[in-house]
Amino acid sequence: MAFEIPNFTPALPEIFVLTMICVVLVVDLFLTDKNRSITYLLSQATLLGAAVLTVVVQSSVPEYTFSGMFVNDSMGTVLKLFIYLSTSVVFIYSREYLIERNLFKGEFFVLTLFSVLGMMVMVSANNLLTIYLGLEVLSLAMVAMVALNRDSSISSEAAMKYFVLGAIASGMLLYGMSMLYGATGSLDHTEIASFVTQGSTDDIVLKFALVFIVIGLAFKLGAVPFHMWVPDVYQGAPTAITLFISSAPKIAAFAMLMRLLVEGLGGLLVHWQDMLIIIAVLSIIAGNLIAIAQTNLKRMLAYSTISHVGFLMLGILAGTSDGYSAGMFYVIVYALMSLAAFGMIILLSRSGFEADTLEDFKGLNQRSPWFAFMMLITMFSMAGVPPTVGFYAKLAVLSAVVEIGLVWLAVLAVVFSVIGAFYYLRVIKFMYFDKAVDTAPISSAYDMRAVMSANGVIILLLGIYPTGLIALCVSVMP
């Protein structure tokens, strides 16, 4: 057999990021704590360079390389760009927070960039092995990030839970993939899709493989009943890490759902649709109800994430192009909202103080009317109140569900969305109607305040004019 050199061009962004990770590792060895900003700037430059290369190598038609294991398509391009954007914002928000807690070290940036690399591989995976490789690079880097504050027993406990439960999820996913390989004789998504379409969808091995794959995906997404790690990790990890975990990886998880279920196992839609309906219903109900009882804002937002994952699945389970584009729109919007919500916690935190309880937001309007307004926009958007973009995100996935005749599911989602609005409005009540407990002025870097303001304004502007982002999501769907 003659060995053919693969076309490396579609994978240039991944190659560049991996090269820059090595550069950052080596450069950081020679830096003192005073010069650590160089590592920060190099990391931001890595994301910028990756974004430029992603745009340069984009392809209007799917472009395959590495024997069909890697695909470069429009959906992957857009998702990667939003991953870079989210991660860059995470770096800006986290800088002062990490400096104050003596965590502003090269490890944070290297692990974050490794996570980004894993996400990029997941987004462009066209093979079961490739998608698993990307997932493990992401997961292992994030476990180390959760435990970054080695002096905190809470962080260490959260990392252990994340590692153990993540290992179980990976095992489930890998077992499902092995059964899928046994049933189809291929690891390639395209070939698996062809086999499923041409063969019998009643194959018992295929159904078992599908069950394990869906369980693995639900674990990674934090959907009920596989959600037990989410609140503990969100609360236990340093807020800068929670900020990252709650944003960019959700975009990669959406890509994994699309690559595995839609592109690879689209012929089994009738089977995985029923599974996702159950998971979505449980996530929306449990996430919204349990969040009401939380007094810690990070735990509240963790349960809120679980309910949002349920809404994301509504778009996927619709099984239509409109549903998939609605799901993509939803996950991008959720990443923006999550960045703003956890960014506000970081903004109000200072050395020796974490503003992670609802009490800490009392009287925020008296301390800073502008940032209270930014938090109000974010909470309204998460609750799905017009004219914020969160309203249109929920409307898009609900419309997709109604179009396939699952009106009862849309009604149930709306009812629990209204119930869930209570805990978002409670934050607003604390900010505007309670007296401030902490009257210290809000002090943060100019870039943090500017990006935080832009984040809130974008959530509002996208709500007033959502057409552009919706059209983008529709245009890149296969």
Whole-number pLDDT of residue 202: 60
Cis amide linkage into residue 387, ω under 30° from 0:
yes
Distance CA 153, CA 156 (A): 5
Whole-number pLDDT of residue 3: 61
Whole-number pLDDT of residue 201: 56
- Residue 221 inside a domain? The answer is yes
Residues spanned by the domain of 122: 10-476
Whole-number pLDDT of residue 4: 73
Whole-number pLDDT of residue 103: 85
- Residue 2 inside a domain? The answer is no
- Residue 5 inside a domain? The answer is no
How many Cβ atoms from other residues are within 10 Å of residue 161's Cβ? 17
**What are the tens digits of pLDDT across the range 334-380?**
999 999 999 998 888 877 677 788 888 888 888 888 888 999 999 99
Whole-number pLDDT of residue 2: 57
**What are the tens digits of pLDDT across the range 187-235?**
888 888 888 887 765 678 888 888 999 998 898 888 888 888 889 899 8
Of the candidates 344, 314, 312, 340, the one whose C-alpha atom is nearest the C-alpha of residue 328 is: 312
Distance CA 307, CA 305 (A): 5
- Residue 4 inside a domain? The answer is no
Of the candidates 329, 305, 262, the one whose C-alpha atom is nearest the C-alpha of residue 78 is: 329
CA distances from 18 to 15, 55, 139 (A): 5, 18, 17
3-state secondary structure of 466: coil
- DSSP letters along 83-124, please? HHHHHHHHHHHHHHHHHHTT--SHHHHHHHHHHHHHHHHHHT
Q: Are 328 and 75 in contact (CB under 8 A)?
A: yes
3-state secondary structure of 220: helix
- Residue 123 inside a domain? The answer is yes
Whole-number pLDDT of residue 1: 53
Q: Are 87 and 244 in contact (CB under 8 A)?
A: yes
- Residue 332 inside a domain? The answer is yes
- Indicate the helix (H) or strand (E) that contains 64: strand 63-65
User: Where in 148-191 does DSSP place strands (E)?
Assistant: none
Domain count, the chain: 1
Of the candidates 388, 399, 390, the one whose C-alpha atom is nearest the C-alpha of residue 326 is: 399
3-state secondary structure of 350: strand
Of the candidates 123, 118, 121, 98, the one whose C-alpha atom is nearest the C-alpha of residue 109 is: 98
Beta bridge partners of 70: 65, 125
Distance CA 340, CA 375 (A): 7
Whole-number pLDDT of residue 434: 81
Terminus-to-terminus CA distance in the chain, angstroms?
Answer: 34
Query: Whole-prediction pTM value?
Result: 0.93
Distance CA 328, CA 306 (A): 17
Those residues of the chain that have pLDDT short of 70 are 1-3, 200-202, 352
- Residue 3 inside a domain? The answer is no
- Residue 420 inside a domain? The answer is yes
Beta bridge partners of 63: 72
